[in-house]
């Protein structure tokens, strides 16, 4: 597990994978180092987040960086 994960706008659009290997959502926005994850993004949401046009909304979940195991080019893997 990484000691400290700092998320940036470059992480917008990445798929979030749980510890079982299941896709659980997509990062739609990163604000102040915290990722806002849409658990069921539609096609429009996925395109907007890849273009950096995502916005957090009430249906999103804030991803706590302490639960991140690793970040790759296209995915964020959770430790729990």
CATH of the domain at 63: 2.30.30
Specify if 14 maps to a domain. yes
Specify if 3 maps to a domain. no
Specify if 1 maps to a domain. no
Longest Cα–Cα distance of the chain, Å, equals: 34
Specify if 64 maps to a domain. yes
Question: What is the predicted pLDDT for the residue at 52?
Answer: 55
pLDDT tens over the chain, length 80 residues:
445 688 999 999 999 998 889 888 889 888 888 888 888 756 555 555 555 555 555 678 888 788 899 999 899 999 87
Residue 74 CB neighbour total at 10 angstroms: 9
- The CA-CA-CA angle for residues 6, 48, 15, to 5°, reads 50
- The CA-CA-CA angle for residues 58, 33, 5, to 5°, reads 125
List the domain range (segments joined by +) for residue 66. 9-78
Specify if 4 maps to a domain. no
Specify if 60 maps to a domain. yes
Specify if 20 maps to a domain. yes
Question: What is the domain count for the chain?
Answer: 1
Q: What are phi and psi of 44, to 5 degrees?
A: -60, -45
Q: With a threshold of 0.85, does the pTM exceed it? A: no
C-alpha–C-alpha distance, residues 71 and 62, integer Å: 16
Specify if 45 maps to a domain. yes
């Amino acid at each position: 597990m990484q000691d400290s994960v700092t998320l940036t706008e470059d992480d917008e659009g990445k798929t979030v994978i749980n510890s079982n290997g299941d896709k659980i959502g997509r990062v739609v926005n990163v604000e102040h180092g915290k990722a806002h994850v849409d658990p069921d993004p539609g096609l429009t949401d996925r395109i907007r987040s890849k273009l950096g046009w995502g916005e957090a909304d009430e249906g999103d979940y804030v991803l706590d960086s302490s639960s991140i195991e690793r970040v790759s080019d296209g995915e964020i893997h959770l430790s729990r």
